Amino acid sequence: MKHDAIRKSFERFLRTRDLKLTPQRARIFERAFATHEHFSAETLYDWMRAEEGPKVSRATVYRTLGLLLEGHFIQSLDTGRGELVYEHVTGHNHHDHMVCLACGKIEEFHDPRIEALQDEACAKKGFVVVSHAHRLIGYCRGCARKNRAQDELETVHEAPGE
């Protein structure tokens, strides 16, 4: 879906809530769709403060993110680190996430075998899937390597008899 079509769809969604696309909401929408990174509400608020344009309050950022979520224009991801991050999903292919607990790195992946197994499990139960979010929490290659090195270092420095 093209950007202009997504924006018009967001405007229609807002009208169903008796809301308008204010300059502040437009800025938030544009910035959220301008990045391919996962971003937190606070990161988005910081971008708004640093960039030119109509002043946007923290509350407006949070409320607009809520509207974008409700309308399925963006998706949230719980990173397991105490904050949600967001990404725009309209016009993008489905994917899942691997989240590193140490550094916060988020890797996107898609595996048709996992999708097929989920579909099979749902079919067995007569469950109709509307959407899903698959998230793996662990350690990326670099952090896992650091953890192994730290474990080896601690093992070498343990006192005899411990």
Percent of the chain with pLDDT over 90: 66
Task: Tell me the pairing of strands 135-138 and 96-100.
Answer: parallel
Taking each continuous run of H as one helix and of E as one strand, the counts in the chain are 6, 5
CATH 1.10.10.10 range(s) for the chain read: 1-92
The band of 159, judged by pLDDT with boundaries at 50, 70 and 90, is low
CATH 3.30.1490.190 range(s) for the chain read: 93-162
Q: For 96, phi and psi rounded to 5 degrees?
A: -115, 180
Residues with Cβ within 8 Å of residue 69, at least 6 apart in sequence: 75, 76, 86
Reported as a single tens digit per residue, the pLDDT across 19-41 is 999 999 999 999 999 988 899 99
* 110 and 92 Cβ atoms separated by less than 8 Å: no
Q: What is the CATH number of domain 93-162?
A: 3.30.1490.190
Determine the topology of domain 1-92 in CATH: Arc Repressor Mutant, subunit A (1.10.10)
Reported as a single tens digit per residue, the pLDDT across 66-96 is 999 999 999 999 888 788 999 988 767 888 8
